């Protein structure tokens, strides 16, 4: 019987397994450990892992690959919720393209659900952090006075443009702003003279 394994992920998979059986289906007994077999499977494709006499060698390979996300083609209609599938196996005939598409859709839904759950948990964690920061901080008193930076675009006597910066400070009744007492100040372009 032939064993086919399809890679239903979007990346190359290397399948590792050992065969403890002879080509005629007899179990190897002894101290010799059979070599590891590691065929690569391109994404969205399948390979034949071998042609064996009997189901015992095939079941051995399937048991070795199950912890890594292998599901039999006949079990695809009953896929486990919330678990991603990486490999699909079929005995006797290749895995159907429709089965690969169904498993890809299942994996996409699992990833979408996992992402939504992670975003929800991050939002909850961030909400707690913000709430703690608000509770720990002091609320500043409302501002009554503030400085505002301004820029003034003027020309020098030589026709060059100059931008001057200053601050506006709100004046109280009867006070004269300090800038009005000092005068206009000096220019910042070519030809500006020192005081």
Tens-digit pLDDT profile for residues 163-180: 555 555 554 544 444 445
22/104 same-domain check? yes
162/85 same-domain check? no
- Give the integer Cα–Cα distance in Å for 135 and 21: 68
Q: Confirm whether 191 is domain-assigned.
A: no
How many structural domains does the chain have?
Answer: 2
Q: Is 13 exposed, middle or buried (0-12, 13-18, 19+ CB in 10 A)?
A: buried
Going by C-alpha positions, the residue among 5, 21, 10, 3 that lies closest to residue 104 is 10
Each residue's pLDDT tens digit, 81-108: 778 888 888 888 888 989 888 888 888 8
104/9 same-domain check? yes
- Model confidence, pTM: 0.56
Each residue's pLDDT tens digit, 17-62: 888 776 666 677 765 777 788 899 998 889 898 887 778 888 888 8
Give the domain extent around 92. Answer: 2-114
- Give the integer Cα–Cα distance in Å for 62 and 66: 6
For the chain, first and last CA: distance in Å?
101
107/20 same-domain check? yes
Each residue's pLDDT tens digit, 110-167: 889 999 999 888 888 888 777 777 777 766 666 666 665 655 566 666 666 655 555 5
DSSP-derived secondary structure letter, 95: P
Residue 64 pLDDT exceeds 50: yes
Evaluate the CA torsion angle 162, 166, 172, 178 in order and state its sign.
negative
- Which residue is listed with tokens 């394994």? 5
Q: Confirm whether 134 is domain-assigned.
A: no
Q: Confirm whether 124 is domain-assigned.
A: no
- Give the integer Cα–Cα distance in Å for 88 and 5: 6
Q: Confirm whether 39 is domain-assigned.
A: yes
DSSP-derived secondary structure letter, 128: H
- Give the integer Cα–Cα distance in Å for 18 and 4: 16
10/100 same-domain check? yes
- Give the integer Cα–Cα distance in Å for 66 and 88: 10
Question: Which of 91, 114, 137 is the C-terminal boundary of a domain?
Answer: 114
Q: Confirm whether 142 is domain-assigned.
A: no
């Amino acid at each position: 019987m032939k064993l086919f394994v399809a890679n239903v992920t979007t990346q190359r998979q290397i399948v590792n397994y050992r065969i403890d059986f002879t080509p005629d289906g007899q179990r190897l007994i002894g101290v010799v450990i059979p070599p590891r077999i590691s065929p690569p499977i391109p994404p969205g494709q399948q390979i034949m892992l071998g042609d064996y006499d009997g189901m015992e060698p095939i079941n051995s390979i399937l048991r070795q690959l199950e912890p890594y996300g292998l599901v039999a083609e006949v079990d695809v209609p009953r896929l486990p919720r919330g678990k991603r599938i990486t490999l699909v196996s079929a005995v006797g005939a290749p895995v159907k393209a429709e089965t690969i598409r169904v498993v890809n859709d299942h994996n996409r839904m699992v990833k979408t659900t996992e992402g939504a759950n992670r975003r929800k948990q991050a939002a909850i964690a961030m909400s707690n952090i913000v709430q703690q920061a608000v509770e720990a901080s002091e609320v500043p008193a409302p501002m009554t006075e503030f400085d505002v930076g301004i820029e003034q675009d003027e020309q020098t006597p030589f026709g060059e443009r100059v931008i001057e910066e200053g601050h506006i400070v709100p004046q109280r009744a009867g006070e004269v702003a300090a800038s009005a007492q000092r005068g206009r100040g000096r220019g910042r372009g070519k030809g500006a003279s020192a005081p």
